[in-house]
Amino acid sequence: MPVPGPGYSITIRLEAAPSASAAGELASAVGRVGGVLTAFDVVESHSDRIVVDITCNALSANHAQDIQDALVALPDVRVRKVSDRTFLMHLGGKIEVNSKVALRNRDDLSRAYTPGVARVCQAIAANPEDARRLTIKRNTVAVVTDGSAVLGLGNIGPAAALPVMEGKAALFKKFAGVDAWPVCLDTQDTDEIIRAVELIAPGYGGINLEDIAAPRCFEIEARLREKLDIPVFHDDQHGTAIVVVAALRNALRVVGKEIGDCRIVVCGVGAAGSAIIRLLLKQQPGDVVAVDIGGVVHGGRDDLDPNRQWIAANTNKQGLTGDLHKALVGADVFIGVSAPNLFGADQVATMAERSIVFALANPDPEIDPLEAQKHAAVVATGRSDYPNQINNVLAFPGVFRGLLDAHAHRITDDMLVAAANAVADVVDAEKLNASFIVPSVFDPHVASAVAEAVRAVAVRES
Ligand SMILES: NC(=O)c1ccc[n+]([C@@H]2O[C@H](COP(=O)([O-])OP(=O)(O)OC[C@H]3O[C@@H](n4cnc5c(N)ncnc54)[C@H](O)[C@@H]3O)[C@@H](O)[C@H]2O)c1
């Protein structure tokens, strides 16, 4: 059952009688309808009334209205204004550009801008590699989207995608000191996206593709990697794959199994599932069985695109056919990046002993985690209100920090594997248990460990 969280937080400014019991009555009214009170501030005080800001977490717009109604139903209470704190946070956007140099006088101007800057331009013209030494290219990543697969919202377009891209840029800065900037493209044509990214690439040290729908995202990434001399990384694919593989490594430590002995069912072969399967195959698993909306992916199906044909050819050693429920029988691991509510505890009971279930469809997972826990030994989701959150923030900031520090021109599978191992290793034997298979997203060691692991591989491969 979901609990009200800060993602839907409101502040209600209201007038109430200045009685000794007012605060308690207001707080109780919020609690009675399931709101979670997080702050109570008196903003004005008069002999006949007080004005207070009540801040609380709700579940939805309807729930926020219920809370407001419960407060208004109290005697002598009048609501002045309701503010949605999430919208307040977005007013004017979430990121900005700051100058690193002081511009106090003509002397500063002459060096930061003309005429002095001209000599720096000429140096770069003579030696283009100097762009990494003398410009923002050294630390800057483009967060590129076409707005076609934004969160669980689908194809909402480039402008509506901007708040997510701004958030991503803020995370890059916070966790790894990377200067990332949103690039929201007003096209969903593969060739146009590739051309646009190619045209802006000189100013960036890396390209982070974001929320671009499958299967288009596969071709865009592959062709950009061919064309550009900077790393191109689709976070929905590889960021997810890194964290899933890290979490699986630790989950297997918890249940005492070797990956080489495990059959892993991956449900969903879109952006996330395809990348997870490819990275899993690098770990020499016993077998991987992929499942999509048409059932188990196998060579006998005639509806497979090139991506799923590759998956059919490289997975499912036993030639399984049928649906997800059939694939789960005897499986050691389930990894879902597909759709909500596909199975229940009865199907988990058919899996092998000490099974592992990662139900990552957002916001509603493939199985209710509380149902999964009835039979599985380790359960993870993509949600922040359950333990073991599979969150890409554990990977992408450190990955780009390492790539930028190494002046890398490309990203390789070995770097993804190194990043996954680094995330997993942050959880040492002391901390590891069934409810703690991945580190906290706020663990300051994660990004630096990932960066160092990626940098080391990049330097070795350069
Ligand atoms: N860190 C995380 O927790 C994390 C990361 C990435 C994606 N996800 C979640 O995973 C899901 C998939 O993301 P994506 O970007 O790969 O999407 P996508 O659209 O590219 O792929 C979805 C896949 O799910 C399959 N699918 C849909 N309905 C199905 C069903 N009923 N049975 C079996 N398969 C079904 C489709 O065939 C497709 O292969 C989303 O819910 C997303 O939020 C979570």
DSSP conformation letters of 62-104: HHHHHHHHHHHTSTT-EEEEEEEHHHHHHTT-S-----SS---
Q: Place 226 in a pLDDT band, splitting at 50, 70 and 90.
A: very high
Does residue 152 have its Cβ closer than 6 Å to ligand 1? yes
Whether residue 323 has pLDDT greater than 80 = yes
Pocket test for ligand 1, best of 211, 236, 338 (most atoms within 8 A of CB): 338
Token pair belonging to 347: 């199907």
Give residue-wise pLDDT tens across range 19-31. Answer: 989 999 999 999 9
- Residues annotated in a binding site for (S)-malate: 362, 391
Give residue-wise pLDDT tens across range 251-288. Answer: 999 999 999 999 999 999 999 999 999 999 999 999 99
Supply the residues annotated as catalytic: 113, 168
- Looking at the chain, the whole-number percentage of residues with pLDDT higher than 70 is 100
Residue 23: alpha-carbon gap to chain centroid: 39
Question: Residue 238 and residue 272: Cα distance in Å, rounded?
Answer: 7
Beta-bridged to residue 287, according to DSSP, are: 263
Does residue 342 have its Cβ closer than 6 Å to ligand 1? yes
CA of 213 to the centre of ligand 1 (A): 11
Q: Place 1 in a pLDDT band, splitting at 50, 70 and 90.
A: low
- Residues annotated in a binding site for a divalent metal cation: 210-211, 236
Does residue 155 have its Cβ closer than 6 Å to ligand 1? no
Ligand 1 atom nearest the C-alpha of 295 is: 33
Whether residue 396 has pLDDT greater than 80 = yes
Token pair belonging to 349: 């009971």
Residue 321: CB atoms within 10 Å: 14
Burial grade of 302 (CB within 10 A; 0-12, 13-18, 19 or more): exposed
CB under 8 Å to 393, separation ≥6 — which residues?
171, 175, 441
Residue 350 lies inside a defined structural domain of this protein: yes
Domain stop point among 173, 196, 230: 230
Higher confidence at residue 342 or residue 383?
A: 342
Residues 279, 332, single domain; the answer is yes
Pocket test for ligand 1, best of 293, 307, 381, 392 (most atoms within 8 A of CB): 293
Distances 42 to 53, 106, 136, 169, 429 between C-alpha atoms, Å: 6, 49, 46, 35, 48
Give residue-wise pLDDT tens across range 294-320. Answer: 999 999 999 999 999 999 999 999 999
Give residue-wise pLDDT tens across range 78-116. Answer: 999 999 999 999 999 999 999 999 999 999 999 999 999
CA of 354 to the centre of ligand 1 (A): 25
Question: Residue 377 and residue 373: Cα distance in Å, rounded?
Answer: 7
CA of 308 to the centre of ligand 1 (A): 14
Q: Provide, for the chain, the percentages of residues in helix, strand and coil under a 3-state DSSP scheme, each rounded to the nearest 5.
A: 45, 20, 35
Residue 13 lies inside a defined structural domain of this protein: yes
Q: What is the pLDDT of residue 255?
A: 98
Residues 195, 55, single domain; the answer is no
Residues 242, 226, single domain; the answer is no
**CATH number, residue 151:** 3.40.50.10380
Which H or E run contains 269? none
Q: What is the pLDDT of residue 384?
A: 87
Whether residue 391 has pLDDT greater than 70 = yes
Whether residue 119 has pLDDT greater than 80 = yes
Residues spanned by the domain of 22: 9-90
Q: Place 363 in a pLDDT band, splitting at 50, 70 and 90.
A: confident
Does residue 268 have its Cβ closer than 6 Å to ligand 1? yes
Q: What is the pLDDT of residue 152?
A: 85
Residues 203, 311, single domain; the answer is no
Residues 315, 172, single domain; the answer is no
The model's pTM is 0.94
Does residue 150 have its Cβ closer than 6 Å to ligand 1? no
Mean pLDDT score, 230-241 = 98
For the chain, how many structural domains are there in total?
3
CA of 347 to the centre of ligand 1 (A): 20
Residue 46 lies inside a defined structural domain of this protein: yes
Does residue 154 have its Cβ closer than 6 Å to ligand 1? no
Residue 4 lies inside a defined structural domain of this protein: no
Does residue 360 have its Cβ closer than 6 Å to ligand 1? yes
Residue 114 lies inside a defined structural domain of this protein: no
Give me the chain's average pLDDT, please: 96
Residues 403, 291, single domain; the answer is yes
For the chain, the distance separating the N- and C-terminal CA atoms, rounded to the nearest angstrom, is 50
Token pair belonging to 50: 């007080």
Residues 265, 358, single domain; the answer is yes
Per DSSP bridges, beta strands 78-84 and 356-359 are unpaired
Q: What is the pLDDT of residue 438?
A: 98
Residue 327 lies inside a defined structural domain of this protein: yes
Q: What is the pLDDT of residue 7?
A: 87
CB under 8 Å to 271, separation ≥6 — which residues?
149, 212, 213, 214, 217, 218, 234, 236, 237, 240
Residues 194, 287, single domain; the answer is no
**CATH number, residue 349:** 3.40.50.720
- Residues annotated in a binding site: 210-211, 236, 362, 391
CA of 270 to the centre of ligand 1 (A): 6
CA of 309 to the centre of ligand 1 (A): 18
Given phi > 0 = left and psi -120 to 50 = alpha, else beta, which region is 173? alpha
CA of 335 to the centre of ligand 1 (A): 10
Residues 33, 150, single domain; the answer is no
**CATH number, residue 77:** 3.30.70.260
Ligand 1 atom nearest the C-alpha of 152 is: 43
Mean pLDDT score, 172-186 = 98
In this structure, the residue with its CA closest to atom 2 of ligand 1 is: 382
Does residue 327 have its Cβ closer than 6 Å to ligand 1? no
Residue 359 lies inside a defined structural domain of this protein: yes
Q: What is the pLDDT of residue 227?
A: 98
Domain stop point among 230, 249, 267: 230
Ligand 1 atom nearest the C-alpha of 337 is: 10
Does residue 61 have its Cβ closer than 6 Å to ligand 1? no
Residues 160, 65, single domain; the answer is no
Which H or E run contains 404? helix 396-405
Residue 188 lies inside a defined structural domain of this protein: yes
Residues 308, 394, single domain; the answer is yes
Domain stop point among 204, 230, 256: 230
Within 13 Å, how many C-alpha atoms sit on residue 305's CB side? Answer: 10
Beta-bridged to residue 379, according to DSSP, are: 357
Whether residue 5 has pLDDT greater than 90 = no
Residues 288, 310, single domain; the answer is yes
Q: What is the pLDDT of residue 34?
A: 95
